[in-house]
Chains A and B, each alone.
Chain A
Amino acid sequence: MADAIFLALSVITIGSAIAALELRSLIYGSIALMGTLGGIAGFFLLLDSPFVAMFQLAVYVGSIAVLILFTVMLVKRELIFKKVEDKRRKFVGIALMLVFMVALGSIIMNSGIKTITTDEPAVDFRNIGADFLTYYWPALILMALILTGSVTGALILARREDVENEQRTD
């Protein structure tokens, strides 16, 4: 049963990833991207980690895909796309992808993943939270600072002095 679900999820994830790259319509491409991200959430559910799966759905499908859709709808596609396509670029791209896949695969295979026992109970999300606040607290603080910095930077970049306070009466 789990194998069938795994195969179906793999087909959905990889198929919609290819569709996201190849579809001419940007909206359908971003819908396919949502399929990919949702498929990855399904993998997390299969791996007994619903906490990560729910965050994958809430953050990637719920926020990032919305932002992509928003951008695609508001920006004229001629401005961001110039259709440059020849065979050489395509083959180089495929070769690059294969190199990356082999490299990542060898890293994962050598990381001791084969020795993991699969019958252990799932990690409680309370342990994840406790680890974040105790052993990994510098990483948490660093992430928070980076996020704050990027949000502040985005606010400053998006600020337009010329149209401010034009319609506001209060």
Chain B
Amino acid sequence: MSVIAPNFKFSEFVKSILDNVFWILLIFVLIGLPAVFIILFYIEMPVINGELLTPFLALTWLADPSRTLPILKAFMTTDLFKIAAFPGFGFAALIAAGTIFIERKMLAKLQLRVGPFYCGKFEGILQLMGDGLKLLSKEIIIPAKADKPIFWAAPIIFVATAAAFVALIPVAPGWVVADVDVGLLAVFAIIGFFPIITILSAWSSNSKFPFIGGIRALHQMVSFEIPLILSLLGVVILTGTLNLSEIVASQSNFPWIIFLPIGAIIFFITILAELERIPFDLPEAESEIVAGWLTEFSGMIYGLVQLGTYLKLYAFAALFVVLFLGGWSGPMIWPPFPEEIITDGIVMGPITAKIPGLPVFSQEMLNGVLWFVLKTVGVIFFILLPRGVFPRIRIDMLLSLGWYKLIGLAFVNIFIALGLLYAGVLGPGGIL
């Protein structure tokens, strides 16, 4: 039928899947379940409501629908859920995946192409899944003279650093993985790791194109970190705090972009440079140095670097939203949860299902997440847009932009913030 697999038979495909299911079930029953019970025998189980939580009881609760929601809600308050799923890695990876698809499709439309089109029936909507499967199944080729430990470790550390950045972003009131007092300083500290990882991975692949790309990335990131840090000081001066949640809470009336537009513009330009996006994509300039510091990566190593890059993009866009656009604050547009479901339960003809534990999320939280995601997607759109429009600039233009113009403008921004503070307009004890 198809050219790729000439001996493909659907019946044999189904049979192989059923075979695998059978063996997995058999091995799980014979080895897995006894192992689980042996482990449970040694673990001290907690006492809940005066009852010892045996595995049997736990399974009963999980199967009982009226008990499932409270267990789910209890799980959602744990650190594991926050790190892995909602404000942390899973949520950010979902937005990152969406960003990749939107970027390809939108750029294609901008440049009068069709973009991903055939994968999936509608507008290539399954292209991303196909790409992911391709990357997962591809062979990872390591250059013969590469420095193997660093070459293997660099993509993983890259994703880990991006995830650490994501962990600092507050998504809704109280929904943040790491609510630290010095959140903005932690952001600066984490941003400082990216050039190290880049240059180490570039050096370790022992090839000239990655090395040139890595050196360019180092120049670019290190020189744009300074205006990035300086442009955010205005917000810190006006709010008097470094905690990101408090910075968002201070913008309940108006976002800081109204008073500090210069700082916002500088921060946006430095975001573009830190993310190595066009017009600052010198480290990956594909017409000059193949793919820059990514040249030697293949298979899932490349996939990890791409994932880290887009996690970083989400984190920077979210930081822009948190600092300048007011984070989760916005008018309440999410409808309230219907009261009668909480009091009477769901009535379907003769059956009435009372579900304790509703609502799962509060209205404020859902509204906050909605506004946060809307603003973040808007900022991501503006980060993607130059790629379809602008050419790449030269490295001397890049460095002079970073060192002369942006740093100067950042100081102008700081003086505007100080002026607003000392004139008594804003800040602690101001009139607004």
Contacts and interface: CB of A to CB of B under 8 A. Distances in A.
A58 B192 contact: yes
A167 to B, nearest CB: 8
B193 interface: yes
Tier of interface size on chain B: 20 to 34
B196 A65 contact: yes
B232 interface: no
B152 to A, nearest CB: 14
B203 A58 contact: no
Contacts of A31: 150, 200
B192 to A, nearest CB: 2
Contact of A66 (B150, B218, B240, B242): B218
Interface stretch (A48-56, A102-110, A133-141): A48-56
Contacts of A50: 180-182, 185-186
A168 B180 contact: no
A31 B149 CA distance: 12
Contacts, number: 63
Interface string A58-71: 10011101100110
Contacts of B176: none
B230 interface: no
B80 to A, nearest CB: 19
User: A-side binding surface: helix, strand, loop or mixed?
Assistant: helix
11 contacts: A50-B180, A54-B185, A55-B189, A58-B185, A61-B193, A62-B189, A63-B192, A66-B218, A69-B196, A70-B218, A168-B396
Interface of B: 147, 150, 180-182, 185-186, 188-189, 191-193, 195-196, 199-200, 203, 215, 218, 222, 225, 240, 242, 396-397
Given A27-B150, A66-B218, A69-B196, 19 more contacts: A34-B196, A50-B181, A50-B182, A50-B185, A50-B186, A51-B182, A54-B185, A54-B188, A62-B189, A62-B191, A62-B195, A62-B196, A62-B225, A66-B192, A66-B195, A66-B222, A73-B199, A167-B396, A168-B396
